[in-house]
């Protein structure tokens, strides 16, 4: 079965997770959150890693910023390891198991969930971080992907988010998407998702979780983001950039396929960024429901191996 094939794909772990224990105490009152304040006016800029505990390229990039010793010349620079509790259990022999402890940290960022009665390790961390996140003006949230797919900037549908992705200038592909039915992402929380607010966020998918190239992308995008923020000396951000500029293309997501049944199967071994030439092509079956491409030249975005009810199986988009 195609769905089973996708769930059984494994990838080697070519990255070594960094030791983040020296950063636990920080200086904000939150474990693994540190702020460097220039004492001069300017934006509060946050680079966040480990929204998912098995996505270690972001931890490598943030560790690298710490090790660089860089300090802002205006505004504030904050560095955080969000779901450090999940990361603590990372084991290269079972690297997918540490994505979260109880639930996905990146589906909790709406007021009803944050202020509701439900309890979990991830909700406790999100609630603790919320007042801090409320002070952030610019956010880079670093992620990686299940499959060996080209890196993506998930910019959201707001013009300000697209402008930030273009100011960062990498990776090559920018995806404009609404989000997940399963819950709101940190990228879309509060002012980040409000077109009337100057606050802005970008989510970067750096490639397959544990391939070496994902750490290179995370490093490069982090320093490009910091350059775009304007809080660091230009010479420092230029020195740290790892790759030459790229010509970017935009994919706009028009449909998110949410799984409605207990059994979902893809019809082929999709990995992401496949372009399906013909409208009406059957991509998968959600119980008895056929999932078809809605138009010609449909681009598949991040087909999932977590094929369970309520989750996003795949997003469908077209090049702008």
CATH number of the domain bearing residue 261: 2.40.50
What is the CB neighbour count within 10 angstroms for residue 291?
21
CATH number of the domain bearing residue 185: 3.40.630.10
Confidence label for 242 from pLDDT (cuts 50, 70 and 90): low
pLDDT at 9: 66
Domain that holds residue 51: 2-249
Q: How many residues does the chain have?
A: 320
Q: What are the strands, taking DSSP E only, across the chain? A: 33-37, 44-49, 76-81, 138-145, 152-154, 173-176, 200-208, 249-258, 264-266, 275-276, 282-286, 289-292, 298-301, 312-319
Q: How far is CA 297 from CA 151, 181, 319, in A?
A: 20, 24, 9
pLDDT at 22: 98
User: Are both 226 and 273 inside the same structural domain?
Assistant: no
Confidence label for 305 from pLDDT (cuts 50, 70 and 90): confident
User: Are both 243 and 264 inside the same structural domain?
Assistant: no
pLDDT in tens, 1-46: 334 334 456 899 999 999 999 999 999 999 999 999 999 999 999 9
User: Are both 293 and 186 inside the same structural domain?
Assistant: no
pTM of the model: 0.90
Q: Count up the domains in the chain and report the number.
A: 2
The tokens for 255 are 């449909």
Q: Which helix (H) or strand (E) holds 221?
A: helix 212-229
Of the candidates 304, 303, 299, which has an alpha carbon nearest to the alpha carbon of residue 317? Answer: 299
Handedness of CA 237, 62, 78, 225 (dihedral sign): positive
Exposed/middle/buried for 245, CB within 10 Å: 0-12, 13-18, 19+?
exposed
- The whole-angstrom separation of Cα 78 and Cα 231 is 11
User: Are both 167 and 281 inside the same structural domain?
Assistant: no
User: Are both 26 and 128 inside the same structural domain?
Assistant: yes
Q: How large is the average pLDDT for residues 126-142?
A: 98
- The whole-angstrom separation of Cα 48 and Cα 202 is 11
């Amino acid at each position: 079965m195609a769905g089973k094939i996708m769930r059984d794909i494994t990838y080697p772990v070519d990255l070594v997770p960094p030791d983040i224990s020296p950063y636990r105490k920080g200086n904000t009152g939150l474990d693994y959150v540190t702020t460097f304040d220039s004492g001069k006016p300017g934006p509060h800029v946050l680079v966040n890693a480990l929204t998912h505990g098995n996505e270690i390229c972001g931890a490598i990039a943030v560790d690298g910023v710490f090790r660089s010793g860089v300090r802002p010349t205006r505004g504030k620079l904050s560095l955080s390891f969000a779901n450090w509790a999940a990361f603590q259990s990372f084991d290269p022999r079972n690297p997918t198991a540490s994505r979260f402890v109880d639930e996905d940290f990146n589906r909790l960022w709406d007021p009803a969930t944050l202020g509701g009665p439900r309890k979990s390790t991830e909700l406790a961390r999100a609630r603790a971080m919320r007042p801090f996140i409320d002070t952030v003006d610019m956010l880079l949230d670093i992620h990686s992907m299940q499959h060996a797919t080209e890196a993506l900037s998930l910019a959201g549908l707001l013009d300000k988010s697209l402008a930030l992705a273009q100011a960062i200038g990498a990776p090559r592909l920018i995806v404009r998407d609404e989000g997940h039915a399963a819950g709101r992402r940190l990228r879309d929380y509060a002012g980040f998702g409000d077109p009337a607010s100057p606050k802005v966020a970008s989510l970067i998918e750096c490639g397959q979780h544990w391939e070496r190239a994902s750490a290179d992308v995370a490093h490069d995008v982090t320093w490009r983001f910091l350059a775009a923020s304007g809080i660091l000396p230009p010479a420092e951000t230029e020195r740290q950039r790892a790759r030459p500029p790229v010509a970017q293309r935009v994919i706009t997501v028009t449909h998110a396929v949410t799984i409605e049944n207990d059994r979902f199967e893809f019809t082929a071994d999709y990995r992401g960024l496949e372009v399906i030439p013909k409208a009406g092509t059957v991509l998968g079956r959600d119980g008895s429901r056929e999932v078809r491409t809605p138009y010609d030249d449909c681009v598949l975005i991040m087909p999932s191996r977590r094929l369970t009810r309520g989750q996003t199986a795949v997003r469908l988009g077209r090049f702008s």
